[in-house]
Amino acid sequence: MAMEVTATSGDKIRCDACPVMCYIKPGAAGACDRYANQDGQLVRVDPHILLERTVEHGGRVVPFQASGDWDGKIVNQPDVFVTAIGAGTTYPDYKPAPFIVSSEVDGVDMVTVVTEGIFSYCGVKVKIDTDRHLGPETATVRAQGEAVGHVTTGEYGSQMLSLGGVHHLTGGSKKEGRVTCDTLMDLSNCKPVELTIDGGATVIVQAGHPPVVNGVAEERMRVGCGSATIGMFAKQWHGKVDEVVVVDDHITGVLSEHQAGKLLDIADTGIKMKGRRSTPGRYFQVAEPGTGWGGTNISDPLSVLGPFNAKEARPGLTMLMVSTTGEHSGYYVLDEALRPVEAEMPRDLRLSVERIQENCEPALCTVLFMAGAGGSLRAGVTDNPVRLTRSVKDALTRVTSGGAPVYVWPGGGITYMVDVTLMPAGAFGYVPTPALVAPIEFTLKLADYAALGGHMDYVRPLSSLRDSAELRPMPYMPGRRA
């Protein structure tokens, strides 16, 4: 779509879409690849995206037609939704948002304000479903050798990374900022990115796909910690094996000592575990973190055991050792010296290991884009930006990103997170300041928009977009794109 040109230099035109203020020669694009010089006019390279979902085809999504018989009315919001993808920005910041579109929904006048925010204060939170140790907490995460983030807390069956942020984008070297920007944009656009962790693993991350850790693709995330696995499957092991050890880097479980075993009257076996005993049947720190059994560094599960107590153990006692994903398992029988000797696993125990695997969900990478919508962006919505913030907190204004629902953090400002797999492809861009460009939309009642000081002179009806050649039809809320 053509934009007003603010300055020229010979045949070049000056783009005012971001602080870089490129001079663009005819037939070329600016540094961001988002704006170009077409016959002396500044145009947006990518089309503006609208989304549609209908219920007339059994809930099937159908493409929105930008021209034809459509009369510009919305019957059931959000059948037709104007996204900010391809809309442009508000830079310089006193300008109203590029599109402020009105419509009628069930007799109520609504308005959607759309703009592409330029975010220096942004990053991604990455959830990697794996039991394998990726690296110690606070370890630096690198892309192309440059620091782009750090490892944060491990959650239940997942390792978490925090990438990006203003300090990596602007506080380091020019290369660090550029690589951080590229990494964030690729991850947000659901492309694969290879990351290395200081003192840890190399992992390929792609939203909606399994992680690849040290060259090996993960298949499943753990069913639970070792203790939880004991509780879940104790009845299935009762009467089929004397002892079960579920090896886990965090909480290793032991059936005979666990409360689940006690309630099933499972006899003591004389087993002795290494590590730090917590409550009965639960052990911490049985081994160092790693990429082996249950996220530990071991390949031989017997290494987590001490000698069996001869007062309670007996020759012929049977023991199953298994990891929290069922990926590793072994069956053992105590010999005359009360030493466990590996034997062929009985079929019913193999089935229990398969049941553990069956209850593990597929391992995936989740990427949440997170950004703070600053005062300048909000000024494109209203001449009194704090009123927009308050209307969001009061649930008068709904915030979306590329049509996808977002989570808005409590507290000051509009700090939001969005699952990038719910957004249309190619929703994210960049400017070489460096910063990411991401869509953000604000939807509210027209009367509320006027009350918060909205730019009412720039409100245009949705029907005015019907003949725009720059509109791209997309299914609304297509779900996970991977």
pTM for the whole structure = 0.84
Residue ranges of the chain with per-residue pLDDT less than 70: 1-10, 19, 52-79, 92-93, 466-482
Looking at 3.30.470, 3.30.70, 2.40.30, 2.40.50, the CATH number of the domain 122-217 comes to: 2.40.30
13-23 pLDDT tens trace: 888 777 677 88
What is the model's pLDDT at position 27?
A: 83
Q: Phi and psi for 16 in degrees, rounded to 5?
A: -110, 25
What is the model's pLDDT at position 153?
A: 93
Write down the domain spans for the chain: 2-44, 50-119+374-412+438-466, 122-217, 226-342
What is the model's pLDDT at position 3?
A: 47
